[in-house]
Amino acid sequence: MLTIWGRKTSSNVQALMWCVGELDLPYQRHDVGHRFGGLDTEAFAALNPNRTIPVLQDGEAAPIWETGAILRYLAARYGDDAFWPADPVQRAEIDKWAEWAKLNIAMGFTVPIFWHVVRTAPDQRDAKAIRHAIESLEQNLIIAEAQLAAQPFLAGQTFSLADIQLGHILFRYYDIDIDRRALPALSAYYDRMTQRPAYQEHVMISYEELRVV
């Protein structure tokens, strides 16, 4: 049984939960972070000295933090060979896109765009900085667009860990009130992700409780 710490409105928790859902793993999740608090306790620091979510514990094994590390653990332990190949060369094809999506899409969107559009009071928003962040993100989304124009999934012909790292951001990217560049292959890919039950359950979640008005 997996034990997970983290509120379901956290984008990193969403990536983890989507992965857990795709792999159909049993879990227990504890709501901590943001309005639930709980990150400042000694008990939580013993799980993760960074006091961030998510944290995952698989049975009695040591707790794992850092979403990328958690996802790779789940993929290696429970994923099939399409999701996370055993062969290092094939795995690197997926890993490079998963890492790319985490560093460029997730980190290029969540704080520079989502926080500034949703988690910042309207009178504090810097429209120029937001536009600059969107244009910078778009330079990377254009790279994803080229991939997805040529194949159905980010790293190839089948759903893999790379899609978790890209796809979990797209619900918020397409939902928030911003101007978006037309990227038809990415948009069609997002539509396909929204058909997946685990995506609907764990990613397509209201973020209204995070909004600063």
85 contacts 99 by C-beta, under 8 angstroms: no
Min separation Cβ 148 and ligand GSH, Å: 24
- The stretch among 5-13, 139-147, 187-195, 201-209 that binds ligand GSH (CB under 6 A) is 5-13
Q: Is 165 in the site for ligand GSH (CB under 6 A)?
A: no
48 contacts 63 by C-beta, under 8 angstroms: yes
Contact letters (x/-) for ligand GSH, 65-84, by CB under 6 A? -xx-----------------
Collapsing DSSP to helix, strand or coil, 55 comes out as strand
Using Cβ positions, the residue closest to ligand GSH within the complex turns out to be 33
Min separation Cβ 76 and ligand GSH, Å: 17
- The stretch among 7-15, 18-26, 128-136, 188-196 that binds ligand GSH (CB under 6 A) is 7-15
**Ranges within 39-68 binding ligand GSH (CB under 6 A):** 39, 52-53, 66-67
Per-residue burial over 93-106, b = 16 or more CB atoms within 10 Å of its CB, e = otherwise: ebbebbbbbbebbb
Binds ligand GSH by CB under 6 A, chosen from 34, 125, 180, 192: 34
- The stretch among 31-39, 79-87, 172-180, 185-193 that binds ligand GSH (CB under 6 A) is 31-39
Q: Is 10 in the site for ligand GSH (CB under 6 A)?
A: yes
Residue 138 CA to its chain's centroid (Å) = 17
Binds ligand GSH by CB under 6 A, chosen from 2, 5, 12, 134: 12
Question: What is the distance between the alpha carbons of residues 106 and 87, in angstroms, rounded to a whole number?
Answer: 27
- Residue 90 or 115 having the CB closest to ligand GSH: 115
Q: Left, alpha or beta for 156 (phi > 0: left; psi -120 to 50: alpha)? A: left
Q: Counting Cβ atoms within 10 Å, is residue 136 exposed (0-12), middle (13-18) or buried (19+)?
A: middle
Helix axes 88-100, 161-175, angle to 10 degrees: 20
